Structure 1
Amino acid sequence: MKTISTTKAPAAIGPYAQAIVANGFLISSGQIPLTAEGELVEGDIVAQTNQVFENIKAVLAEAGLSLNNVIKTTVFLKDMNDFAAMNEAYATNFGDHKPSRSAVEVARLPKDVKVEIEVIAVFE
């Protein structure tokens, strides 16, 4: 196992890693819309989703991967009414690549953000 850590994404705010690499897979912790400096991105679901993707891309890049290596995502939404707007930002970030996905509404997210996303990526 190898721990992935980058200063280009927000530091872990608890006893966890930004991501772990094991057996040919990268498994990320959930990313929320914090800047690398730890500042919360305010705004609508699109702004928050785009920041989450910037964080995911930074963690993936630290491991030598990109969004094209992602095979599974889990999206946690504070409000399922934000699904359509989140989905547009999600599609823009992934382009033609379409990993498998789960999306669920949850009661509460860290720092009361609107979205959190975790990924599983594969080394090819």
Structure 2
Amino acid sequence: MQQNLVTYSNPDANAAPGGHYSHGSVANGFVFVSGQLPITPAGEKLASASFEDQARQALANVEAVLRACGSGIEHLVQVRVYLDSVDNWAAFNAVYAQWAGPSRPSRAIVPTGALHYGLKVEVEAVAVVPA
């Protein structure tokens, strides 16, 4: 009988998922981080916060999932960002560069229009778990 090769993670540093999914899953040495919105660990949706504060919270949520799954920013492979408006691209890029530091994973930024709960940014990611 084959063991389950996938593990799921919902760290306490993140609000509970809003649907039938996990914040992170680990399979074959990769961490897959579900889209993270700017929602605090206590569940506060930061819709009235500045774009930069929303971006920082979404990225903090990504980092918390990575750490809970045994990885980190330095092990990112790919990041996908959804923005409510392309006008926020430069602001996101500045916050992201500070957060990511020397890491430069592949990245896509997708302007989408309105996001869930009136939020302005959502970030998903793929990383490796170091051996």
TM class by shorter chain equals over 0.9
Answer with 1 or 2: which has the greater Rg: 2
Q: 1:118 Cα shift? A: 0.1
Matched, 1:10 2:15: yes
Q: TM-score, normalised by structure 1?
A: 0.96
TM-score (norm 2): 0.91
Q: Equivalences for 1:26-45 in 2 at 5 Å?
A: 26-41=31-46, 42-45=48-51
Identity level (%): 33
RMSD after superposition: 0.9
Correspondence 1:19 to 2:24: yes
Q: CA deviation at 1:108?
A: 2.4
1:59 aligns to 2:45 (yes or no):
no
Give me the whole-angstrom Cα distance separating, in 1, the residues matched to 2:29 and 2:79. Answer: 17
User: Unmatched 5+ residue regions in structure 2?
Assistant: 1-5
- Shift of residue 69, structure 1, vs aligned partner: 1.0
Residues 10-68 of structure 1, C-alpha deviation per residue, up to 9 Å, x if partnerless? 21000111011001100011000000010012322111000011111111111121111
Structure 1 unaligned regions, length at least 5: none
Corresponding letter in the other structure for 1:6: P
Amino acid in structure 1 at the alignment position of 2:75:
N
Give the count of matched residue pairs.
Answer: 124
Mapped pair 1:93 → 2:99: yes
Matched residue type, 1:49: A
Counterpart-to-counterpart distance in 2, 1:114 and 1:18 = 19
Whether 2:85 is the aligned partner of 1:79: answer yes
